[in-house]
Amino acid sequence: MSLHGGIEDHPDLNDADWGRRVEREFNRERRGKRGMVIGFVAALAVTGLVAGGLLLGGVAEGPAHPASAVDFDRPFAGTEFETWADGEKGVVAAPEHDQVRKAVVAARLDPAVLVGHDPSAFLSLVPAEAREAWTPILPTLVTRLKQGTTLLPGGIKVKGTIAPAVDDEGVDVVRSDYLIAYAFAPADRAAVGGPEDFVVLLHAIADYRLIPQGLQIRTTKIRIDHAACSTKTDGYLAPRFAGPSTCGVSA
């Protein structure tokens, strides 16, 4: 996919190791199956407090898989995600990084934002003067489920860390780096062949600094695997069964 201005050459978008690591988490036991990848990057500083967002997308096609039995009472059984923590239990941090922990929960796990599409809890953590600039690029910041979709009971698994880091500009930051698996409830369970049809994997990385006005967001980067094509265009998270499996690739 090519965008005017050559943004596809941005180093964040050419981090092959990062992309391969996310893909391995989902496809360790399901190599060769079809998959969709969506990536976001927010890395353009604005007034020193906020950043801009960019959306890229692509599709890789492989042979269709045969239907197989899935235990929807245990949606993560037999996958890498089975051993991950349940929801908020997977988001832990040192006391001095509690604001970042709150940001991860408010952005990716809180039903108010997932179902209600209300990002106010997350935005309340950033400086007031930055909120208006961040609002137009909410898909890079928070997870919102597509209207009409629901998660299965216990349908969120989480693995990741919150820890000090140094960003690309040599600035000391607190980095949240999380993999989150969302298991959606299909209307037609018989049409689901395996976890990649109803489990969407999100990898979200964000660098923060704690300043007197709140959390300064230095950069954000997300990658979404095994989602419906509509996620690429409207920014609302949905599983494969919610739309076509082939999106096409822009030239």
Query: How many angstroms separate the CA atoms of 139 and 152, rounded?
Result: 22
Which pLDDT score, from 0 to 100, does residue 18 have?
A: 46
Q: Are 205 and 177 in contact (CB under 8 A)?
A: yes
Confidence of residue 239 (pLDDT cuts 50, 70, 90): very high
Query: How many angstroms separate the CA atoms of 219 and 185, rounded?
Result: 32
Mean pLDDT on 217-224: 94
- Which three-class secondary structure state does DSSP give residue 49? coil
Query: How many angstroms separate the CA atoms of 207 and 221, rounded?
Result: 9
Query: How many angstroms separate the CA atoms of 122 and 104, rounded?
Result: 8
Mean pLDDT on 110-123: 97
* 84 pLDDT above the threshold of 90: yes
Query: How many angstroms separate the CA atoms of 27 and 201, rounded?
Result: 11
Q: What are phi and psi of 131, to 5 degrees?
A: -65, -40
Closest CA to 218 of 177, 161, 173, 176: 173
pLDDT (tens digit per residue) in 24-63? 544 543 443 333 333 334 433 333 333 333 333 333 333 3
pLDDT (tens digit per residue) in 151-163? 999 999 999 999 9
Alpha-carbon distances, residue 71 vs 78, 152, 202, 244 (angstroms): 10, 11, 22, 24
pLDDT (tens digit per residue) in 179-216? 999 999 998 888 788 898 999 999 999 999 999 999 99
* 71 pLDDT above the threshold of 50: yes
- The CA-to-CA distance between both ends of the chain, in Å, stands at 5
Give the start-end residues of each E strand in 102-213. 151-166, 172-184, 199-211
- Which three-class secondary structure state does DSSP give residue 246? coil
- Bridge partners of residue 145, in order along the sequence: 237
Order of strands, sheet of 214-225, starting from the edge strand that comes earlier in the sequence: 50-60, 35-46, 214-225, 199-211, 172-184, 151-166, 85-86
Which pLDDT score, from 0 to 100, does residue 162 have?
A: 98
Query: Between vectors from CA 108 to CA 146 and to CA 27, what angle results, nearest 5°?
Result: 80
Global pTM?
A: 0.75
